[in-house]
Structure 1
Amino acid sequence: MAKYPDKKIIIIMGTLSSGKGTQADKIAEAFGLHHFDTGPFLKKILSSDDPSIAKEKSEYESGKWVSPEFVVKKVLEHAPIFLIQSKGIIFSGSPRTIYEVERELPVFEELVGPENVVVFNLDISEAESLKRSLGRLICEKNKHPIPDLPEFQEIRKAGVCPHDGSKLIKKDLDKPETLKSRSSEHNQRTLPVIDFFRKCGYKVIEINGEQPIDKVFADMMCWLPQYCK
């Protein structure tokens, strides 16, 4: 029997700038979930000068993904803690490799039960992904993303994060050559994860991520009430 059968784990898949973090924030607020955003979470860990993570830090700073082994270790260390503190977890950055999903999914199923694991995929084109990534801003303090979309133009003009009041800046890794490399790596490493979920019997809920933010959220909410009661 699952340890926390009354809690949920939601996983949002999608390529770069598909809106995973934005939708995860909205869903987390709607249902009282913890948004486990592995990007900022790992960035905080990798900002340390700890020599034991020097290799991972170097890889990250060069624009590459940190090793799946490192991601899995940190995710599985903290997931049970976040489950205790909330009604569930919503992931927007992991699992994104076969290595991760093979090791994380069995633990997620033990924690909440397979019936309480929900998987979405936000589908956007490669061209739209690059366009969004090149136009994206983040805040200095907590790296909240501010997309170059109509809904955010006033915020971008003000230059101040609406979440924490810090300055908006350009993300260091959002450069064409880096983004193309990460997009290629995504296609090679992450797309097979979606197939893995399906082979394990999970329905991967496909959402058109090129729609306005509120429409994407509405489409996801059409599915969530049956899971998040």
Structure 2
Amino acid sequence: MKNIVIFGAPGSGKGTQSDKMIEKYGLNHISTGDVLRGEIKNGTELGKTAASYIEKGQLIPDDLMVSILASVYDSFGRDSKGVIFDGFPRTIPQAEALKKMLDERGDKVAAMIELDVPEDELMKRLILRGQQSGRADDNEETIKKRLVVYHSQTMPLIEWYKQEGVHYHIDGLGELDRIFADICQVIDNI
């Protein structure tokens, strides 16, 4: 099972590249944002608990998030070719919790793929995305705040995955197909 953590700043191309990996390799995809919205919409017990935190403007505790991810992960079954984790982990305690959850199932993260894009390019991409999609959070002020948060959390997590021996740096600037080819080279060799 090839479990992959896709990692990168907002606007680095995680969603686009995840879609291409799903198509080529038949991987499942867990986007924490999508999962939370789904659990809440479906009125599950986990969803109700998550909603109670969100309604108060609080972050969802790591143990609850891992329970939700474990539930989705298990739903894919043992025949799954692997899972792309998108949006999780974001901190070292979350990475440790994900590792423990996978260990309990005899699985592991095979690769942490970091899409590295210069900040000026991220700004251009996100502002364009905001203009095209109407996403309210894609404005310059909010983007700058999101990037500060990302960078403050990122470096420790990148180092953590380097120590785990599964960190792969991908230059996320340039042609979409070249970036995907670089990702495929990583996946094909794990």
TM-score with structure 2 length normalisation? Answer: 0.83
Alignment partner, residue 32 of structure 1: 26
Query: Does residue 1:130 correspond to 2:93, yes or no?
Result: no
Aligned to 1:96, the other structure's residue is in SS state coil
Q: Which amino acid aligns with 2:112?
A: V
Q: Give the structure with the larger helix fraction.
A: 2
Alignment partner, residue 210 of structure 1: 173
Alignment partner, residue 84 of structure 2: 90
Residues 12, 20 of structure 1: 8 Å contact kept:
yes
Counterparts of 2:56 and 2:175, CA distance in 1: 36
Counterpart of 2:134 (choices 157, 170, 173) is 170
Alignment partner, residue 161 of structure 1: none
Counterparts of 2:7 and 2:175, CA distance in 1: 18
Q: How many residues align?
A: 186
Counterparts of 1:102 and 1:25, CA distance in 2: 26
Alignment partner, residue 111 of structure 2: 118
Aligned to 1:59, the other structure's residue is in SS state coil
Aligned to 2:105, the other structure's residue is in SS state helix
Residues 7, 112 of structure 2: 8 Å contact kept:
yes
User: Which string of whole-angstrom CA distances, capped at 9 and with x for unpartnered residues, describes residues 17-76 of structure 1?
Assistant: 10111111111111111011222222334567876423324538xxxx655444323212
Q: Deviation at 1:77?
A: 2.3
Q: 1:175 to 1:98 in 2, by over 3 A?
A: same
% identical aligned pairs: 29
After TM superposition, list the pairs within 5 Å mapping 1:104-115 onto structure 2: 104-114=98-108
Residues 110, 166 of structure 2: 8 Å contact kept:
no
Between stretches 89-98 and 72-81, larger displacement belongs to 72-81
Q: Which amino acid aligns with 2:146?
A: R
Q: 1:210 to 1:185 in 2, by over 3 A?
A: same
Q: Deviation at 1:187?
A: 1.1
RMSD (Å), alpha carbons? 2.6
Give the gaps of 5 or more residues in structure 1. Answer: 1-6, 138-147, 149-155, 157-168
Counterparts of 2:155 and 2:55, CA distance in 1: 25
User: Which string of whole-angstrom CA distances, capped at 9 and with x for unpartnered residues, describes residues 196-221 of structure 1?
Assistant: 11223x23111000122111101111
Q: Which amino acid aligns with 2:52?
A: A
Alignment partner, residue 223 of structure 1: 186
Query: Does residue 1:197 correspond to 2:161, yes or no?
Result: yes
Alignment partner, residue 144 of structure 1: none
Give the gaps of 5 or more residues in structure 2. Answer: none
After TM superposition, list the pairs within 5 Å mapping 1:119-158 onto structure 2: 119-136=112-129
Q: 1:71 to 1:51 in 2, by over 3 A?
A: closer
Residues 68, 97 of structure 1: 8 Å contact kept:
no
Q: Which amino acid aligns with 1:121?
A: E
Residues 98, 192 of structure 1: 8 Å contact kept:
yes
Q: Deviation at 1:117?
A: 1.5
Q: 1:182 to 1:113 in 2, by over 3 A?
A: same
Counterparts of 1:195 and 1:19, CA distance in 2: 21
